[in-house]
Amino acid sequence: MRNDASTVALIGPGRIGQALGKLLADAGARIGWIAARRPSAARSAARFIGGGHAVTLPVVVQASSLLRPRRQDACTTTDLNAARILLLTTSDSALPDVARFLAAQRADWKGRVVLHTSGAWPAGGESSVLQPFRARGASAASLHPLQTVPSREAGVRNLIGCFWAVEGDPGAVRLARRWVRLLRGHTLTVAPQRKAAYHAAAVIACAGVVTLMESAERLMNLSGVERSQARKMLAGFVSETAANFGRLGGRRSLTGPASRGDWATIRKHQAALRSEAPDLVPLYRELLRSMLKLAGQQPRRDL
């Protein structure tokens, strides 16, 4: 990467942006600029990444999706225009507005590469969120890490070796794949029109599991187990379950009363939930229906 004359402008340095920026910089990428809405955020990201000139975007992305000037001299967009590669790591909600605003700063983006890290927005195809750049000649792609990044520090650790969903224009995809190789990662191809379904799968597997574990922690605590102890117990329990799923698949790794049609135990569960945590009854029922389907068991009318 040291011989690559391309300079990267990092736009919207959140947790993933800062972690990815630091990893790329450490691998030899030239991070020229780091742009954020707040000057302090841009400076903090530059310090963490270890390079890049901090600049401030002259926009405030409102809930109404309107862009308004913040200060006339807040940002030198000509600096960002000089970058050969734009890496957009904003939130999903801000990405369309930021892409439209930045693309409008130049009439010609030929020879430039624009990447984003959103799992929900496609970069290729007719519904590309980066179409404003593509219409002006840029090559666009997305690279989304299939990994949880609760902090920028955690991202530096766990983005190494993970899977990345890559899609978009051929030139930008080549760069994205090269970056993934630098991070010793693995690429998977996702069709642009299936991007939202892919991201929903990621949310179910990550945020969904966290939500289920928090519910289990509550029930453990109601049963007399300290929350800190419950979290440790559940972490090991779920880790082993995930390992079984990886080795055996869904049906073979499924255990519990639904897998064996133990309706007496299921009724006990439901009675306990109605008494101790009634708000979890609908969640349990929906999960039970899915478990029964996975196990090949027939649901009952009194479910």
User: What is the DSSP annotation of 237-263?
Assistant: HHHHHHHHHHHH-HHHH--SHHHHT-H
End position of a domain, from candidates 146, 165, 190: 190
pLDDT at 302: 64
Residues 14 and 108 in one domain: yes
What pLDDT, in 10s, does the model give residues 51-63? 999 999 874 343 3
Under 8 Å between Cβ of 179 and 155: no
Q: In what order do the strands lie in the sheet with 53-56?
A: 53-56, 30-36, 7-11, 85-88, 113-116, 139-145, 163-168, 186-189
pLDDT at 77: 56
Domain assignment present for 303: no
Residues 179 and 246 in one domain: no
216: which residues sit within 8 A by CB, 6+ positions away?
230, 234
Residues 174 and 84 in one domain: yes
Domain assignment present for 246: yes
* Interatomic CA distance for residues 185 and 177, integer angstroms: 9
Q: What domain range includes position 34? A: 7-190
Residues 138 and 230 in one domain: no
Task: Extract the residue ranges of the chain whose pLDDT is less than 70.
Answer: 1-5, 59-79, 301-303
Residues 120 and 53 in one domain: yes
End position of a domain, from candidates 136, 165, 190: 190
pLDDT at 78: 56
Listed in sequence order, the DSSP H helices in 204-248 are 209-222, 227-248
- Based on the structure, what is the number of domains in the chain? 2
Residues 19 and 139 in one domain: yes
Under 8 Å between Cβ of 270 and 281: yes
Give the bridge partners for 1, in sequence order.
none
pLDDT at 68: 43
* Interatomic CA distance for residues 219 and 216, integer angstroms: 5
Looking up residue 237, the CATH number of its domain turns out to be 1.10.1040.20
Structure tokens at 259: 């897998």
pTM exceeding 0.75 = yes
End position of a domain, from candidates 163, 190, 217: 190
pLDDT at 300: 74
* Interatomic CA distance for residues 32 and 79, integer angstroms: 9
